[in-house]
Amino acid sequence: MRFLFSLFLVSAMAFSQTREIIIDTDPGVDDAFALLLALRSPELEILAVTVVAGNVPSSVGLPNALRMVEIGGRPQTPVAVGAAQPLTRRAVHAYYAHGSNGLGDVPFPEPSIKPVSENAVELIRRLVREKPGKVSIVTLGPLTNIALALRADPDLARMIPRVVMMGGSLSGGNTTPSAEFNFYFDPEAAHVIFHSGIPLVMVGLDVTQKARLQEEHVRAMENGGTPASEAAGKLGRSWMNRAKAMGRTDGFGMHDPLAMAVFMDPSIVTLKKYYVDIETTGELTAGETVAWQSAPVRISAPPDGVTQSEVRAQKLEPNVEVAVAVDSPKFFQLLLGRLTSK
């Protein structure tokens, strides 16, 4: 009897540690890795997967999200499509990095599950309002859906306990020299979130470029013996082949799966608080994440004369925790462990 009670207690404790999340994504090869990691992690209660335009149009990302939800073994997870365009700009997709189907041209079968009819932005609003303070959001793509939800319902900002985002960089961009792709695609949406007051964790290129998928990882996925690891192995192999064709031997940064892993175990990275703002007017720099720690001046020299006090960087309270270092082996141990778990 005592054994059964302790078994119940352990499972109840595990259940009590279940963490409710919404995953917003633009799948994308690395998004697919992140989705599979989350879907194979029983401590995560995935309330919804919401699709946003980014790597590929949302019409391409939606079936990819459905495919991963099905392969990941949680077909009942609500999947909804949201923004098809950035808030104000023309969409500049990244087929060059993710292939024509958004999944590295790996020929995954058509999904047999269907999306929900509710728009992603409405679904986000409803789920957050149903459980104020309980539903975190992990964003793997441009922040358009989240920005639209906040614009439609500003009170949401105080109901979201945390947004862990893949995006930004304090060490240069991967799309322009200044901007990382997710914030390059929709700088205005990123600006809304960085000024929302929501507790933010920014998992940017500073760390994701140091968590690089290598041949040994792909082999472990290919030999993992589960549908999730088999799918991940196909995605990884397509990426390694693409790297080889490009003459690259340093693998690929695991951008989105690292962001997902940081939500699950923040000890995988070192976090540092900064005040970060988003450049939205630069012809060359729009989407850049600009961080202040001790710089004395807040803005560029204005064209017309304004007082010195208006340009000085008054005390800028930190608004985001930025990942500045990563334990890459610990990340891959978590990723491979979950993908190969039966």
Positions annotated as catalytic residues are 255
Smallest gap from Cβ 56 to ligand RIB, in A, equals 9
Q: Which of residues 174-203 bind ligand RIB (CB under 6 A)?
A: 174, 180-182
Write out the binding residues for Ca ion, residues 247-276 only, by CB under 5 A.
256
Please report whether residue 204 would count as binding Ca ion according to CB under 5 A: no
Which among Ca ion, ligand RIB, none contacts residue 174 (Cβ within 5 to 8 A by kind)? Answer: ligand RIB
Give the end-to-end CA distance of the chain in Å, rounded to a whole number.
Answer: 29
Whole-number minimum distance, CB 23 to Ca ion, in Å?
Answer: 11
Three-state secondary-structure class, residue 261: helix
- Give the total residue count for the chain: 342
Binding mask 41-70 for ligand RIB (x = CB under 6 A): -------------xx---------------
256 lies in the site for ligand RIB, by CB under 6 A: yes
Preceding peptide of 233 cis, ω within 30°: no
Which residue, among 125, 124, 108, has the nearest Cα to 60 in the 3D structure?
A: 108
Query: Would you count residue 28 as binding Ca ion (CB under 5 A)?
Result: yes
C-alpha distances out from residue 71 to 44, 74, 93, 132, 320, Å: 16, 8, 25, 30, 34
Nearer to Ca ion, 31 or 70 (CB): 31
CB of 175 or CB of 270, closer to ligand RIB: 175
Q: How far apart are CA 67 and CA 128, in angstroms?
A: 25
Q: Where are the beta strands (DSSP E) in the chain?
A: 19-25, 44-51, 79-81, 136-139, 163-166, 200-203, 212-213, 252-253, 269-278, 289-292, 320-326
CB 61 within 8 A of CB 95: no
Is residue 24 at the binding interface for ligand RIB, with CB under 6 A as the rule?
Answer: no
Question: Which of the residues 117 through 156 are near Ca ion (CB under 5 A)?
Answer: 140-141
Q: Write out the residues near ligand RIB by the rule CB under 6 A.
A: 26, 28, 30-31, 54-55, 140-141, 166, 174, 180-182, 255-256
The site for Ca ion (CB under 5 A) is made up of 26, 28, 31, 140-141, 256
